[in-house]
Chains A and B, each alone.
Chain A
Amino acid sequence: MGHEQATDRQRTTGQPEPGSARRTALYAAHAELGARFTEFGGWQMPVRYGSIIDEHRAVRSAAGLFDLSHMGELHVTGPGAADGLGFALVTEPGRLAIGRAGYSLLCAPDGGVIDDLIVYRLDEEAFLVVPNAANRPIVADELRTRLAGYEAELDDRTLQTSLVAIQGPRAAAILEERTALDLSDLRRYAAAPAMVADVDALVARTGYTGEDGFELFVAWDDGPELWRALLEAGSRAGLVPCGLGARDTLRLEAGMPLYGHELDRQTTPIEAGLGWAVRDHECVGCQALAESEPRKRLVGLVLRARGIARQGYPIRRDGERAAIGVVTSGSQSPTLGQAIAMGYIPPEDAAAGTMLEVVVRGAAVPAEVVPLPFYRRPGR
């Protein structure tokens, strides 16, 4: 067999490569569990421990445990933090109540996306900004520049923080066994400090899988103990460790964008279907977005014949030769049993039900435009 990568961002290696990429505090734990690693955003991260499909299914039916310590943790504090972040981002974090989180984007003056991220309000004058691992340097840099006119400080505590996520319908029941925090009081997108497994944590009810779940921010050195304690607490409930492979198939089913795929500097939040996150206020990029005309639209696609669509594959109108768009992410969906994809096409072709084609290794495979998400948690 010859190897050609279906996604150019990830390279699976049988052995971890020493040298340039950082390791999280949980690296040894992953290696012990037999994880295969890949370099992602400058970090050696587990792709899978065994079968990606098994890990994916575990999250949908029970729970999965993820090491997300590669994500950034930027603490922004001061009397001007709220206003400063409002200027820097397309949302208004100053409108978040203490203990609430919000999805946001950092855009360039022309409206192009530099990163998507979550902002947590920890206190009146304290915010936690979580950017993607690969974009942490540029986000920290841009934020510092944009905050310069405000009484606010940015402290990058990424290397002092471990982040473990537990996601799935049984996540709450499992977490409850190791914390006194009343989880029934913690709503989606809320966050509260609490002891979890005898370790100080910020417990956030956020996630990237489309399931209920929690993201636990702890001190770097507390990561391994938290991981071990949760795995043990969840062992009888079907909790399994999950890598980036399953994280990707889960978020794809949930219709969630991934920077470097659905989002990049040449794409606006509006084109990505994230216009709802852009608040009408004064911010870097807000004016350009208010005046912008979307050049493309992000859609969901289901392939209606054999074939799997992958990033970079051309999209065409039925029977035409010229590409009108491109696939940004795609895979076989374990939950749906179909090949699904997201991609950009002209707005006029984006109506649900439109039949298009995806070119897979030179052959046209019919694909139907469908509304996102592909999967919704039952009861939502």
Chain B
Amino acid sequence: MDAPETLRYSKDHEWLRIEDGEGAVGITAYAAEELGDVVFVELPDVGRVLEKDETFGVIESVKTASDLFAPAAGEVLAVNERLTDEPELVNAEPYEGGWMIRLRLADAAAAAAAELMDAAAYRESIED
């Protein structure tokens, strides 16, 4: 299953892309496939400060609703406004157009290291 090498992954199927102390967050292709058609995404306000593993939003498919958990601590700098009218972007482009929030990471190094999987480890975890 598609899991880009440059990203880090949480056990809750969120991905984190770290660039210059900022982290972009979304859900993986595997998670999007499991959900099915995404019809609604609820995202936090800009400025909200999140702790690692804190619920930052909700994602709904036709049949289910799931919480979204922050893979790292940080302050919300931006949210993907496109998901309001095009929630299906999460299915179509889970790693690109379907990004959800961008964080100013509390500690970029810690975020990269602690408890987040690399692509190989993530792929292995979903193969079970």
Q: Which residues of A contact B (CB under 8 A)?
A: 1-7, 10, 12, 14, 47-48, 51-54, 245, 249, 306-308, 310, 331-332, 339, 361
Contact = CB atoms under 8 A, between A and B. Distances in A.
9 contacts: A1-B69, A3-B66, A5-B64, A52-B36, A52-B62, A307-B40, A308-B40, A310-B65, A361-B58
A1 B40 contact: no
Interface string B53-66: 00000111011111
Interface string B75-104: 000000000100010010000000000000
Nearest to B65: A6
Closest 7 CB pairs between A and B?
A332-B39, A1-B66, A2-B67, A53-B37, A52-B62, A6-B65, A6-B64
Nearest to B59: A1
Contacts of B12: 1-2
A48 B35 CA distance: 11
B36 to A, nearest CB: 6
Interface in B21-76: 27, 31, 34-37, 39-40, 42, 58-60, 62-69
B126 to A, nearest CB: 10
A306 B85 CA distance: 10
A3 B64 contact: yes
Given A1-B27, A1-B59, A306-B84, A12 B40 contact: no
Given A52-B37, A332-B39, A361-B58, A10 B63 contact: yes
Nearest to A14: B34
B75 to A, nearest CB: 22
A4 B36 contact: no
B18 to A, nearest CB: 20
A307 B41 CA distance: 9
A10 B35 CA distance: 14
Contacts of A245: 36, 62-63
Nearest to A2: B67
Contact of B67 (A1, A6, A48, A249): A1
Contacts of A307: 40
A6 B38 CA distance: 13
A162 B76 CA distance: 54
Given A51-B91, A53-B37, A53-B62, 7 more contacts: A6-B63, A48-B36, A51-B37, A53-B88, A308-B40, A332-B39, A332-B62
Nearest to A12: B63
A249 B62 contact: yes
Given A4-B64, A4-B65, A12-B64, A51 B36 contact: yes
A1 B31 contact: yes
